[in-house]
Chain A
Amino acid sequence: MGFLNAIPGAVAQGLIWGIMAIGVYISYRILDIADLTVDGSICTGACVCGVLITSGVPAWISIFVAFLAGAVTGIIAGLLNTAFGIPSILAGILTQLILYSVNLKILGGRSLLQIDSRKYSLILNQLSNVKSIIMAVAIITLLIIVLWLFFYTEVGLTLKSTGDNPHMSRAQGINVSFNKVLGLAISNGIVALSGALLAQYQGFADINMGRGAIVIGLAAIFIGLSVSLKIKPNFVVSLIGVVAGGVVYYLVYTFVIFLGLDTDLLKMLSAIIVALFLAVPYVKANYFKKYKHEPAAEEITEGGEANA
């Protein structure tokens, strides 16, 4: 019975993390950047939203400002990468560390900020899971529609090609650096939005709430895409799959806690899930490949030494 009672809460949390996973999808799958900024920007979203709500700003405005704050964190990471030539992984780590201090400052030096759902009017909170689920689904639907429209515009197509083939993109007159910054801004904006919703749902913003967020986001993406790519490999189905992946993740998470698993091990389990999803295709391709005796007719990149 305990597990059944916990399902609505798990679904609500899963949906909120699903929004976060959509943000990660944009950086990881579309831009082809493993952006570690998200561990910091999800917390930035929560802190900004928490501070605004507790100082009397309406919740809807607060989550919008949280989105903008997240977009700024993405711009910082993007500029470190494109304008200053820092490898994207490191740019993300640096931004994440910057954000740890910034988030502490936003919270006024505290590590935890209570957002009392009885005092403020929140978009969602864990005292009312049904309402939370409805609001989360509404926000996700809106988000997916906006992203779907955006990625089929002239600008959106160039964002996709930037991640898919930067050579081709530059040859077609696309400013690849600008697009990376723009993409990271959108991605981290969405991540911060999910942080803002999470803070409201759980009733507090916590300086440590982003730790390992990227791993949860990736787990949701891998779980979701493993199914949705088989159904129909298009953009909208992928995004729905990613959100569903977040929900599945939280259901499993809740279930293993219900089974009495040591909660200290949960982060390790998340990391193992992601490692497995990344490792299995590689192991299959490299250790279990059928060997063919005819050599493959591929000699493509042996050009002049200067044109590489």
Chain B
Amino acid sequence: MLKIKNLHKTFNPGTVNAKKALNGLNLTLNDGDFVTVIGGNGAGKSTMLNAICGVWRPDAGSIEIDGVDITGMPEYKRAKFFGRVFQDPMKGTAPDMEIAENLAIAARRGKKRKLIWGIAKGERTIYREKLRELDLGLEDRLSSKVGLLSGGQRQAVTLLMATLEEPKLLLLDEHTAALDPKTAAKVLEITEKIVTEKNLTTLMITHNMRDAIRYGNRLIMMHEGRIIVDVSGEEKKNLTVEYLLELFSKASGSEFSSDRAILA
């Protein structure tokens, strides 16, 4: 469903700060894949996600989703294909607006917005039910400003917003990295529940190797702007952190280095 072909991106080209972030990246996702992405600092994980979302245009290569070439499509137009959760909990929600308003905006992703009520009759009841399923006590706070919520609650609401209007592809960019361990575990649990229930094709970046192994049916490892390890099926199920590190040093010819990766 997603086809990335030979993608290149260099930041600050022609300067001393030039950084090849993507270097001939190829990736094909199948319908229903739940892929976890790991890699060291500057491996190009977030850059890959930003390329898919269209934050900027790549220097070369192409991105296709369900046969549609979206390489040059503006970010807001291709948003109809994607549900996104950012690493920064502040980025995914509008803090000065009510929870219900945030959800209503998300429910209309990819649809033409008209001069009719922004929250239709009955919508609040639906949202209340969806919030109840999160089990964070948000079901009675539909009219609260999102800015009053904690980071974990905001990520959970963002996750709900990303999946309310079912996306073709769910993109999670280290969405639990900024949360405390307990909240992170809770948000991951919600993530898995939603992904499994809706059978969503998902790309999840994580810096936690255990999570990368535990979740999803496929794991890819990035290094210097391309994918160097791609395991799925039985092999993925039997992965261990030690074996992953071994795979990495074999494929890259270097030691795995990340000051944030959680190995154990």
Q: What residues of chain A have their CB less than 8 Å away from a CB belonging to chain B? A: 150, 152-158, 160-161, 164-165, 167-176, 297, 299-301, 303-307
Contacts of B86 in A (CB 8 A): 167, 171
- Report whether A164 and B46 are in contact in the complex, using a CB–CB cutoff of 8 Å: no
Kindly report which residue of chain B lies nearest to residue A173, judged by CB atoms.
B79
Contacts of B116 in A (CB 8 A): 153-154
Q: What residues of chain B have their CB less than 8 Å away from a CB belonging to chain A? A: 11, 19, 21, 41-42, 44-47, 49-50, 53, 74-77, 79-80, 82, 84, 86-97, 101-102, 104-106, 108-110, 113-119, 151, 161-162, 173-174, 177-178, 180
Residue contacts A-B, CB under 8 angstroms, 23 given: A154-B108, A154-B114, A154-B115, A157-B104, A157-B118, A158-B113, A167-B92, A168-B102, A169-B94, A169-B105, A170-B79, A171-B53, A171-B79, A172-B109, A174-B105, A300-B88, A303-B173, A303-B174, A305-B19, A306-B19, A306-B42, A306-B44, A307-B50
A301 to chain B, nearest CB (A): 5
A89 to chain B, nearest CB (A): 22
Tell me the bound Cα distance from A154 to B112 in angstroms: 9
List 9 other contacts, CB 8 Å, given A160-B94, A300-B151.
A153-B114, A155-B113, A155-B115, A156-B118, A165-B90, A165-B94, A168-B91, A172-B79, A303-B88
Contacts of A152 in B (CB 8 A): 117-119
Kindly report which residue of chain A lies nearest to residue B45, judged by CB atoms.
A304
Residue among A154, A155, A173 making CB contact with B76, cutoff 8 Å: A173
Tell me the bound Cα distance from A16 to B116 in angstroms: 30
B12 to chain A, nearest CB (A): 10
- Report whether B91 and A306 are in contact in the complex, using a CB–CB cutoff of 8 Å: no
Tell me the bound Cα distance from A297 to B84 in angstroms: 25
Tell me the bound Cα distance from A164 to B80 in angstroms: 21
Tell me whether chain A's interface is mostly helix, strand or loop, or mixed: helix
Contacts of B44 in A (CB 8 A): 306
Residue among B49, B102, B109, B117 making CB contact with A153, cutoff 8 Å: B117
- Report whether B76 and A176 are in contact in the complex, using a CB–CB cutoff of 8 Å: yes
Contacts of A158 in B (CB 8 A): 105, 113
- Report whether B118 and A164 are in contact in the complex, using a CB–CB cutoff of 8 Å: no
Tell me the bound Cα distance from A306 to B117 in angstroms: 39
User: Known: A300-B151, A304-B41, A304-B42. Is A173-B77 also a contact (CB below 8 A)?
Assistant: yes
Tell me the bound Cα distance from A298 to B102 in angstroms: 24
- Report whether A299 and B178 are in contact in the complex, using a CB–CB cutoff of 8 Å: yes
- Report whether A307 and B117 are in contact in the complex, using a CB–CB cutoff of 8 Å: no
Tell me the bound Cα distance from A148 to B79 in angstroms: 28
- Report whether B97 and A161 are in contact in the complex, using a CB–CB cutoff of 8 Å: yes
B107 to chain A, nearest CB (A): 9
Tell me the bound Cα distance from A121 to B172 in angstroms: 63
Residue among A153, A154, A165, A174 making CB contact with B91, cutoff 8 Å: A165
Residue among A155, A170, A172, A175 making CB contact with B106, cutoff 8 Å: A172
Tell me the bound Cα distance from A92 to B119 in angstroms: 34
A150, A154, A176, A297 — most chain B CB neighbours (10 Å): A154
Residue among B46, B84, B87, B95 making CB contact with A165, cutoff 8 Å: B95
Tell me the bound Cα distance from A157 to B44 in angstroms: 35
Tell me the bound Cα distance from A176 to B54 in angstroms: 14
Contacts of B96 in A (CB 8 A): 160, 164
Contacts of B53 in A (CB 8 A): 171
A182 to chain B, nearest CB (A): 12
- Report whether B92 and A168 are in contact in the complex, using a CB–CB cutoff of 8 Å: yes
B90 to chain A, nearest CB (A): 7
Residue among A165, A173, A300, A305 making CB contact with B178, cutoff 8 Å: A300
Residue among A153, A157, A306 making CB contact with B46, cutoff 8 Å: A306
Kindly report which residue of chain A lies nearest to residue B90, judged by CB atoms.
A300
- Report whether B118 and A305 are in contact in the complex, using a CB–CB cutoff of 8 Å: no
Residue among A155, A303, A305 making CB contact with B87, cutoff 8 Å: A303
- Report whether B115 and A174 are in contact in the complex, using a CB–CB cutoff of 8 Å: no
Tell me the bound Cα distance from A174 to B107 in angstroms: 12
A83 to chain B, nearest CB (A): 13
B189 to chain A, nearest CB (A): 21
Tell me the bound Cα distance from A165 to B50 in angstroms: 17
User: Known: A300-B151, A304-B45. Is A173-B50 also a contact (CB below 8 A)?
Assistant: no
Task: State the 10 A-B residue pairs at the shortest beta-carbon distance, nearest first.
Answer: A307-B46, A173-B79, A157-B118, A164-B94, A154-B113, A300-B178, A165-B94, A161-B94, A306-B47, A173-B109
Contacts of B162 in A (CB 8 A): 171
A40 to chain B, nearest CB (A): 29
- Report whether A153 and B106 are in contact in the complex, using a CB–CB cutoff of 8 Å: no
A160, A161, A168, A174 — most chain B CB neighbours (10 Å): A168
A173 to chain B, nearest CB (A): 4
- Report whether B84 and A171 are in contact in the complex, using a CB–CB cutoff of 8 Å: yes
- Report whether A304 and B46 are in contact in the complex, using a CB–CB cutoff of 8 Å: yes
A236 to chain B, nearest CB (A): 15
Tell me the bound Cα distance from A308 to B82 in angstroms: 19
Residue among A155, A167, A297 making CB contact with B180, cutoff 8 Å: A297
